[in-house]
Structure 1
Amino acid sequence: MDRRWSVHAATRSRRGLLTRTIAGHWRLVAGGAVLAAGHQAGEAAVPVIIGIVIDEAISTGRPAELVWWLTLLAAVIAALSLCFRYSLRMEERAAFEGAHGLRVALAARVLDPAGGAEHGRLAGALTSTATGDAQRAGDVNLALPRAAAAVFGLLVAAVALLRISVPLGLLVLLGSPVLLLLAHLLCRPLERRSHVEQERAAEASGIAADLIAGVRSLKGIGAEATAADRYRRTSRESMAAAVRAAGAQARLDGAMLAVNGVFLAAIALVGGRLAAHGEISVGELVTAVGLAQFLVWPLSLFSWVNGQLAQARASAARIAAVLTAPPAVPLGGATLPRPVRGRLRLRGVTHAGLSAIDLDVAPGELLGVVTTEPAEATALLQCLTRDADPAAGSVQLDGNPLSGLDPDDVRATLLVAAHDAELFADSLLDNVAAAASTPQTLERALAATGMHELADALPDGLDTAVSERGRSLSGGQRQRATLARALAADPPVLVLHDPTTAVDAVTEAALATGIRQTRQGRTTLLVTTSPALLSATDRVVFVHGGTVAAAGSHGDLLRAHPRYRAAVLT
C-alpha cells in the first residue's frame, strides 16, 4: 500500500486516532494536566487552611498566627488562579492544534491522487467532518487534563478528610470510583446519539452545498420546490437527531448532578454527626463542609468529561472512516519518460458505459470524440483522468499503461478539463494564470479564448474579482475562463469536455479556431457534440453503444452516418 494514501496504523480505529491526537501534543496535555492539578490542589487547600485558621488562630486569639495563615491563604489563592489561567491556555492550544492536525490529515486524504475518500460522501458532508468532527475529536486534549485534575482534586480532598476522620476519607475514596463507573454507563446513549447527530448534520450540510451550487440549474428546470422539500426533510431529521443528542446530554448532566448532590449531602451529614459527637473540632467541621463544597467541581467535571469523550469517540469514528477509505485507483510509482510525445491508446477498455473500446490518438492530433450517451463520455473521462481504472483493458500514454504510473505525473501530463470545472475566489487573471507555465502560454491562452474582449465588459477588466465558484460570472464567461486556464497549462495531452455549451455560435467558432491554433503540435481530445468544434478537428471518433461505431472527418460522418448526424445536429 502506498505511503501517500495509507494512514498510520494508529488511525485505523477511533481509539487509535484519539491516541495519536493526544500523543502528538503530549507536552501541552501533560503541562495542562499538571497545572490543572495544581489548581485543584489549591482549591482543596483553601477550606483546609480556613479550618486551621479557626482552630489555631481565631479560637486561641493569637493575631500573629492569624496574619500568617491569612497570608498563606492569599498566596494559595494567587497560585491556584495562575495555575488555572495557564492550564486553560495549554489545554485550549492542545485542543485546537489537535483539531487542526486532523483537518490537515482529512484534507490530505480527500486531495490524495488515489481518490476514494469522497466515495458515497457529499462535499458538504466531508466539510462537516473536517470542521465539527475534527474539533470534537481535538477536544479530547481539553478533556483529559481536566479529568486528571479532577481525579487529583478528589485524592487531595480524600487525604485531607482522612486526616480529619477516617470515615469521611473512606467515603470519598470508595464513592468516587462508583461515580466514575456510573458516569461511564450513563454516557453511552450520548455517544450513540452524538454519532447519529453528526451523520445527519453532515448529510444536511452536503445537500445544502449541492443545492446552492446548482441553484441556477434548479431554477432553470423549475425544481426549486422539490429541492426545498428534500432539504426540509433532511434538515428536520438533523434537527431531531440534534434534539435527541441534546436530550441525552441533559439526562446525563441531570443524573450526575443528582448523584453528586446525594454524595455531597452524605459527606456533610457524616461530618455533622462526627462534630456533634465531639469527634472532630469546629474548624475540622468547617474544613469538611468546605471540602464537600469543593468536590462539586471535580465531580461535575466527571460528567462533562464523559460527555466530551463520548462525542469525541463518535466523531473520531467518522474521521477514521474517511482517513482509511480505500483508494479509488492503485498508486503506481513510475513516471513517464521525457519528452512526452502524446500518443494515446485505449485497448479493449470496458468501464461503466464503455464496452471493449479501442482508440488511437496520434501525437499532435486534434481528435473529436462524440458519444450518444453522457454516461459514455463520463466513463471515458474517468479512465483518462484516472479517477477510476477500467474493469478491463488498458489506457496507454506513449506505450505506458496509466495504471502503472504515478497519478500526479499522469494528471500533470494528461490534463482533463471537466465540463463543470470550478473557478476560485480570486481575480479573473489570477484564475487563468494559476495554471500557466510561462507568460507566453498565458498570453496565447488569453488570446485564443478572447479573454481581453470579455474583460472589456467587466468593471476591472482581467483584475475583476471572481466570487466563489465563479458565480459572479455568466455561464459563458465562466466557460471561457476555465478554457483559458486549461490552455494556459499547456500539457502534452489535453482533454476538453464540452467547453463551449454556454457561449453563442459566433464565439464558439472563434474558440474552435483558437483551440486549434494554440494546441498546434500537441495532442488534444475534444469530447463534444458541437459542430463548430468538431469541424476544427483533424478526425472524429463516434462512440455508440459503448464502442467505436465510426471514425473520419466531421464532414464525412455527417454525410455518411445518420446516427452521428442526429447526435451533433439535434
Structure 2
Amino acid sequence: MGVSGPSGRNVLGRAIRGQRRDVALGSFLGAGHQAGEALVPVLIGLVIDQAVAASDTGALLRWLAVLAVVYVGLSFSFRFGARAGERAAEQAGHALRLELVRRVLDPRGGAENGRLPGALTIIATEDAKRVGAVNMALMSGMSALAGLLVGAVVLLRISVPLGLIVLLGTPVLLWLGHLLSKPLERRSEAEQERAAHASGVAADLITGLRVLKGIGAESAAVARYRHTSRASLTATLRAARAESWQSGMVLALTGGFIAVVALVGGRLAAQGDISLGQLVSAVGLALFLLGPLEVFSWVNAELAQGRASAARIAGVLAAPPAVTGGDLPLPRPVRGEVRLRGVSHGGLREVDLDVAPGEMLGVAATDPADAAALLRCLSRQADPDTGVVELDGVTMCDLDPADLRMAVLVAEHDADLFEGTLHGNVGAAAPGSADPARAMAAAGADEIARTLPEGGDTAVSERGRSLSGGQRQRVALARALAADRPVLVVHDPTTAVDAVTESRIAAGLREIRRGRTTILVTTSPALLAVADRVVLLDDGRVVDEAPHAELVRRHAAYRTAVLT
C-alpha cells in the first residue's frame, strides 16, 4: 500500500459493489413499496369513480379488498427492504473498519504519520459508518425513483401534460439538488477533519493527564483543548448551516414542483378533461411525490457526506509505508547477531556497532533523541538514512517487517498495557502455552500479583491505568520477556521503580536472557552493571565501549549520563 493507493471514489465504489446483492434486493423491495404507495391514490380514485359515484356496494368492497392487499404488500416490502439496506450499510462499514485496522497495524507502518490516535479512531468509526450508509441512501434513492416513475406513468395515463411535467421536472430537481450538495460536501469534510483532530487532542491529553497534573499544566491543556474544540464546533455549525440551506432550498423547489402539478390537475378537472376520481388520484399522486423528492434531498446530503468521508479513509489507506518490505526469509535458526554499519538516522551519525549472539549489551546515550533514533532503526519503524542494520548477516531491509519482529522485539519505554487480566497481558505474546511465571519473576511482576486482590487474574483497566507507573513498567517488561524473542531490545524499563526493585530486576533480566541477545538502551547503573559491555553514544556517535565500571572510571560524559 503506497502513494498509488485507492482514491475516495474507489473507496466509495468498493463499499457499494461489495454489498451489491443486498443493495439490489433492498432496491427491488423498496421499489415495490414505493409502487404500492403510488397505487394507493389511484385505487382511491377508482373507488370514487366506480363505486362511490355509481353507488355500487359490491365494487366498493372489491376495491377495498384490493387496497388491503396493496397495503399488506407495501408493508412487507418496506420491512424487508429496509432490513436489506441496513444490513448492506452495516456490513460495508464493518468491512471498511477491518481494512483500516489492517492498514494501521501493517508492519510497514506509515498510516499513523501526521495523525493523532484519536483522529484514526474517528476515521475508523464515524467515517466508515458514513461511507457504509451510502448503501442505504442508494437503495432509498432507487426506490424513490421507482415511485416517481410509477407515479409519472399513472399521470400520463390520466393526462399527458401531467405526466410530462413529472418526467421532465424530476431530472431538473435532481440536478439542482446535486449542485446544492457541493458546499455541504466541502464543509462536511472540514467538519470531520476538525472533529477527528479534537478527538485526537482529547485522547492525547487524557493519556498524559498524570504528567499534566504533575507539572501543573492543567490550565494550558484546557486552553489548548478549548481552542481545538471551538474550531471543531465552528466547522460543525458551518456544515449544519450548509445542510439546512441545502435541505431548505430543495424542499422549496420540491414544493413549487408539487404545486405546479396540483394546479395543472385542477385546471384539467375544471375543464372536464379528467373525472373527479382522476382528479383525486392526480392530487394524491402529487402529494405522494413529495415523499420521493424529499428522499432525493436526503440522498444528496448522504452522498455528499459519504464522498467526504471516503476521501479521508482513502488518505489513510493510501498512506505510504514508513519502511519497505523485503522477501528474504529469516535466518534459521536465528542466532541473534546484530550489526550496524555506518548508520545515520535522526541524531545518529555513522554508527558502527557489533552485538555478538547471546551477548547482553548496554547502550548509554547522552541524548535521549539518539536512543530513540536507535530504537526506530532496530525495530524497523524507520530505515536508516544511510548505512545498514543486519541480523545474522542479512540486511534488515531485505526481510519482511512482520517476520523480522518475530525475531527482534523492541520493548519501548512507554509500552501500553491492554484491558484484561494481569496474566493475560504478560502472556499475550508468549509462544504456545508457555508459563509466564518465570518472566513475571524476572521483571518483578510477581510481587504485583501477590498484592492484587485476585492475583494474576486481577483485571487491568485500559492502558493499565489501574496500576501505578512502576507496576505498569514491570508488567510491560514481563510481557517482553515472556515473548522469548532471539533478540530483545529494552528501553529504560525501570525508571519508575525503586533502587532495590531495580537491582532485583537487573539480576532477573541477566538470568532469564542468558544465551539470548539482549540490548539494554538505558542510563540505569543497575542495568548497565549486568551487561557484558556498554557502548557510549555521545553526540550521535559511538565514542567508547567497555564494561560499566571501566566506563565510569575513565569517561566523564558517561558518568554525567549515568550517575547524575
Please report the TM-score for the alignment, with normalisation by the length of structure 1: 0.98
Partner of 1:356: 350
Equivalent position to 1:90, from 84, 87, 94: 84
Counterpart of 2:458 in structure 1 is 464
2:361 is aligned with 1:367 = yes
Q: Distance in 1 between matches of 2:434 and 2:85?
A: 52
1:205 counterpart = 2:199? yes
Structure 1 runs not aligned, ≥5 long? none
SS in 1 for 2:325: coil
The answer on 1:43 being equivalent to 2:4 is no
Please give the alpha-carbon distance, in whole angstroms, between the structure 2 residues aligned to 1:482 and 1:507: 15
Matched residue SS, 1:332? coil
1:495 to 489, 501, 506: 489
What are the equivalent positions in structure 2 for 1:105-124 lying under 5 Å apart? 105-124=99-118
Who is 2:125 aligned against?
131
Structure 2 equivalent of residue 172 of structure 1: 166
After superposition, residues 404-415 of structure 1 pair within 5 angstroms as 404-415=398-409
Aligned with residue 309 of structure 1, among 279, 293, 303: 303
Is 1:289 the counterpart of 2:291? The answer is no
C-alpha contact (below 8 Å) 2:423/2:436 kept by paired residues: no
Give the CA deviation at 1:437.
2.0
Between the aligned partners of 1:446 and 1:253, the Cα distance in structure 2 is 61
Alignment of 1:155-234 (within 5 A): 155-234=149-228
Task: Please give the residue correspondences for 1:136-151 in structure 2 after superposition, counting only pairs within 5 Å.
Answer: 136-151=130-145
Q: Is the 8 A contact 1:422 1:470 kept in 2?
A: yes
Match of 1:266 in 2: 260
Measure the CA separation in 1 of the matches of 2:440 and 2:103: 34
Matches of 1:265 and 1:99 in 2, distance apart? 40
Query: What letter matches 1:245 in structure 2?
Result: A
Offset of residue 548 of structure 1: 0.1
Rounded Cα–Cα distance in structure 2 between residues aligned with 1:334 and 1:542 = 32
CA shift, 1:6, in A, is 5.9
Aligned-residue offset at 1:441:
5.6
Give the share of equivalent positions with the same residue, in percent: 62
Q: Find the counterpart in structure 2 of residue 530 from structure 1.
A: 524
Which of structure 1's runs of 4+ aligned residues deviate more than 4 A? Answer: 438-441
Which residue number in structure 1 is paired with residue 561 of structure 2? 567
Amino acid at match of 1:382: R
Give the CA deviation at 1:529.
0.3
Task: Report the Cα offset of residue 64 of structure 1.
Answer: 1.3
TM-aligned CA deviation for residue 142 of structure 1: 0.4
- Distance in 2 separating the partners of 1:72 and 1:62: 16
- Given that residues 109 and 117 in structure 1 are in contact (C-alpha distance below 8 angstroms), is that contact kept between their aligned partners in structure 2? yes
Q: Displacement, 1:233?
A: 0.5
1:372 CA drift (Å): 0.8
Tell me the distance in 1 between the aligned counterparts of 2:398 and 2:463. 33
d(CA) in 1 for partners of 2:432, 2:34: 63
Separation of aligned partners in 2, 1:509 and 1:166: 94
Question: 1:192·1:314 contact (CA, 8 Å) conserved in 2?
Answer: yes
Tell me how many residue pairs correspond in the alignment.
564
Residues 47-104 of structure 1: CA deviation (Å, up to 9, x unaligned): 0010011111111122111111110011001100111111100000000000000000
Letter in 1 for 2:135: N
The CA distance in 1 between the partners of 2:410 and 2:493, in whole Å, is: 11
Unaligned residue ranges in structure 2 (runs of 5+): none
> In the aligned structure 1, how far is the partner of 2:471 from the partner of 2:53?
88
State the shift of 1:452 in Å: 2.4
- TM-score, scaled relative to structure 2: 0.99
CA offset at residue 438 of structure 1?
5.4
Q: Which residue of 2 aligns with 1:323?
A: 317
Matched, 1:345 2:357: no
Tell me the distance in 1 between the aligned counterparts of 2:95 and 2:32: 29
Q: Which residue of 1 aligns with 2:93?
A: 99
Residue 277 of structure 1 is matched in structure 2 by: 271
Of 427, 441, 451, the match for 1:447: 441
